[in-house]
Structure 1
């Protein structure tokens, strides 16, 4: 099926939400078209939008959290671009009401986080193509502003085990195992050494702490930083 253009009313409504006026109405329609409806769909724009989003958020976080090291900046970015976060923003701008889906997806597709997050990235890609980097940067910063302002690094890094588990589940990867390797020192001041193993991706890290929980958290944080980079 060929590309279907959205109505002028929908076009104006989305432009108002995004605070961006498209030069090419076709590229907006393509950004809203799922592959179940047409071979002329948003997948290439999604690929581009994913890269542009990473670039803009990396720059924004670099400037806003000047005290944080690279690994923690990567974790914040991953928190902002996970499927649930992107779908939340897509729903906030009511993107679900304008998606162009095939018959098999119309009943449930508009509610699926995977489709909503992909379409948001495609929308970002379309603005980049249509208006250039400065325009898409302004749009992304507006869309993500509230979420970025709500970030508390201390809270975000408090539970690395949960963050690692969430990241693995989103990518359909088996959950990690934690094994106590050995303990050091006297009974009243022992140091615990733990390994975190994710066999399916050949990832193993170690953590050390004054108790088992602290050691596991350290091992999980190291594993998460490696996983995000890969």
Structure 2
């Protein structure tokens, strides 16, 4: 489940030293900084900084580029059969604010983000700010430990998303991804068979299976043939990459 548009913020527990909250943050994110000031800067929103140069905006800018490089390299290695356009679609999904905010929420970054009183009213931090601080932390880790440290950290927290991209990619990409894969590996174009249908004429549902060569993949239901075909393609991609079916069917 992805992060909501606003996420509840819980202030760090009261601590005995001014920087204890930074120590707690390091434990939460699983990385220990040589230069703790980089982490402090990454957690400082512009609303809390003395100036914009003192905020996390520059680290966010750097982290965005580092994240893009790491994700692109992983996708390039994982999907050798995909063309540039399909890799771009997958990359855009993975590095989106929505996904970054989801990972930030998992790491409980809202507990450590320093924002001005006008930003986090009622204890809520907008999800887009969590995506920003996630990228800022990547930038901080890159400056602190280099590319390999940043890569290890990013893949530790985003690797499962990349590795299960067949079932988490946007549904509208599934048919084109399956077509590229089928043509590259088997020299054929996928076909889609209507296995079953139900409901009145004005509101039918369709059960469709993707077929690549002689292989028929698990079918999926949809409220239209187009939707069912996309879901069937997603099932086929998941099966080809040995992943759980995103749209299991009893048929």
> What is the TM-score normalised by the length of structure 2?
0.58
Structure 2's unaligned 5+ residue stretches are: 1-16, 174-225, 231-251
> Partner of 2:248 in structure 1?
none
Q: Deviations over 1:68-108 (max 9, x none)?
A: 11111111110111111110000000001101011111226
Determine helix, strand or coil for the equivalent of 1:79.
helix
Give 1:33's match in structure 2, choosing from 31, 36, 44: 44
Match in the other structure for 1:77: 91
Structure with more of its chain in helix, by fraction: 1
Distance in 2 (alpha carbons) for counterparts of 1:31 and 1:126 = 7
Q: Within the alignment, does 1:156 sit opposite 2:169 as a pair?
A: yes
TM (normalized to structure 1)?
0.63
Instruction: Please say if residues 97 and 110 of structure 1, whose CA atoms lie closer than 8 Å, have aligned partners that are also in contact.
Output: no
Tell whether the 8 Å contact from 1:99 to 1:110 is kept in structure 2 after alignment. Answer: no
> Shift in Å at residue 23 of structure 1?
0.7
Cα pair 1:32 1:42 within 8 Å, conserved: yes
The offset of 1:145, in angstroms, is: 1.4
Report SS of the residue matched to 1:152: helix
CA change 1:108–1:76 in 2 (3 A) is: farther
Q: RMSD over aligned Cα, in angstroms? A: 2.5
Compute the displacement of 1:12 (Å). 2.6
CA distance in 2, matches of 1:56, 1:108: 36
Partners of 2:101 and 2:130 lie apart in 1 by 5
Q: Which runs of 5+ in 1 are unaligned?
A: 1-5, 161-212, 218-230
Query: Do residues 93 (structure 1) and 130 (structure 2) align?
Result: no
CA displacement, residues 125-184 of structure 1 (integer Å, 9 cap, x when unaligned): 00011111110010011110121122117x736525xxxxxxxxxxxxxxxxxxxxxxxx
Name the count of aligned residue pairs.
159
Match of 1:133 among 147, 158, 173: 147
Contact 2:119 2:125 in 1 (8 A): no
Pick the aligned partner of 1:20 from 14, 21, 31: 31
Secondary structure, counterpart of 2:149 in structure 1: helix
**Equivalences for 1:1-230 in 2 at 5 Å?**
7-38=18-49, 39=51, 40-107=54-121, 110-152=124-166, 156=169, 158-160=171-173
Write the distance in 1 (CA, Å) between the matches of 2:46 and 2:166: 38
> Matched residues in 1 for 2:27 and 2:148: separation?
18
